[in-house]
Amino acid sequence: MSKPKVYVTRLIPDDGMKLLYEKCEVTLNPHDRVATREELLAGVKGQDAMLCLLTDKIDAEIMDANPNLKIIANYAVGYNNIDVAAATQRGIPVSNTPGVLTDTTADLAWTLIMATARRAVEGDKFTRAGKFKGWGPMLLLGQDVHHKTLGIVGFGRIGQAVAKRATGFDMKILYYDKFKMPEVAAKFGAEYCELDELLQRADIITLHCDLNESTFHLIGEREFGMMKKTAYLINTSRGPVVDEKALVKALQNNMIAGAGLDVYEDEPALAPGLAELDNAVLLPHIASATRETRGAMARIAAENVLAALEGRKPPTIVNPEVWKGN
Ligand code: DGY
């Protein structure tokens, strides 16, 4: 019997590739770079399944290039790169990789919190440049993180994991989410606030919401104007949640003290002026980038593909309403 066909838009770790190779005929984009639009359109044709990345824009045109697609499995927890409504309309299941990257992403948000507030990257550059001439009472003064107020925007799995870590730093925790979660919040002593109040009270604001119409440019000029001049903004969610041009202005004009970013509005491009700022720590979208987590994400993405191809409900389907079987 011939094996089902799966198109993988870019190499992912072996944990997932092995599962696919065992049971499927795999077409892998041979280039270790983001697939072009043309490659995606050609690659999806004649396949039973597609395993794609957050850097692939999967819209109706791609779906219509192959009316027999049985699943679009995203290798990410966020799936704003996929037009889920279009997939649902066409009865195509879409899956993501939730859960396995929660702690890893929370760890990186904390890396950015510490690195910005304690000026770790500036300190590293300074030391390597041979500028360190001995201990100095005024050298690279940052701000304390412990006992400060942390404002968490988006109190889902990752936001809560960030809160858990904050309890070890004796922080006051505020959270904003479209849902109030009094029981979960009580575990961390977290207090619910409307966004404007959170922005005014927090010393460190960390973003963990999905990107959708209501969160696009959630943080812009008006919001920077509300934050404390000593506040830090951390973003490990999705770039367009922040108006990046407004952020650059806020950092240039010292409206806030600094920012720690892992994601950008127009990745991989940076807003003009951002790279020149010392009060920004900039990482290349690596929040989930550990061997363990990327391996687990690969396994989950492959398991979703195999489930759909074998007529089982994909374990982490995001549009379950399309699933008619068991
Ligand atoms: C995700 O899974 O959405 C992350 O951004 C990947 O690093």
pLDDT the model gives residue 326: 67
CA of 125 to the centre of ligand 1 (A): 28
pLDDT the model gives residue 1: 76
Residues of the chain with pLDDT under 50: none
- CATH of 102-282 among 3.30.450.20, 3.40.640.10, 3.40.50.720, 3.10.20.740: 3.40.50.720
How far apart, in whole angstroms, are the C-alpha atoms of residue 10 and residue 50?
11
How far apart, in whole angstroms, are the C-alpha atoms of residue 120 and residue 304?
40
pLDDT the model gives residue 178: 95
Closest CA to 74 of 90, 92, 61, 64: 92
Q: Decide: 79 and 310 in contact? Cβ < 8 Å.
A: no
- 287 Cβ closer than 6 Å to some ligand 1 atom: yes
pLDDT the model gives residue 325: 74
**Apex 227 CA angle, 222 and 233, nearest 5:** 100
Task: Indicate if 102-282 has the same CATH topology as 5-100+291-322.
Answer: yes
- Cβ–Cβ contacts within 10 Å for residue 95, how many? 27
Stated as kind and residue range, the H or E segment containing 26 is strand 25-28
> What residue spans define the domains of the chain?
5-100+291-322, 102-282
Q: Model pTM?
A: 0.95
pLDDT per position as a tens digit, 144-160: 999 999 999 999 999 99
The token pair that represents 125 in the structure block:
């550059």
- 198 Cβ closer than 6 Å to some ligand 1 atom: no
pLDDT the model gives residue 324: 86
Say which of 10, 201, 208, 238 is annotated catalytic.
238
- 101 Cβ closer than 6 Å to some ligand 1 atom: yes
The token pair that represents 322 in the structure block:
């399309």
CA of 88 to the centre of ligand 1 (A): 22
* Sign of the CA dihedral with 269 first, then 274, 276, and 278 last: negative
Q: Whose CA is nearest to atom 7 of ligand 1?
A: 288
* Sign of the CA dihedral with 129 first, then 131, 134, and 136 last: negative
* Sign of the CA dihedral with 211 first, then 69, 89, and 65 last: positive
pLDDT the model gives residue 65: 97
pLDDT the model gives residue 32: 87
The architecture that CATH gives domain 5-100+291-322 is 3-Layer(aba) Sandwich (3.40)
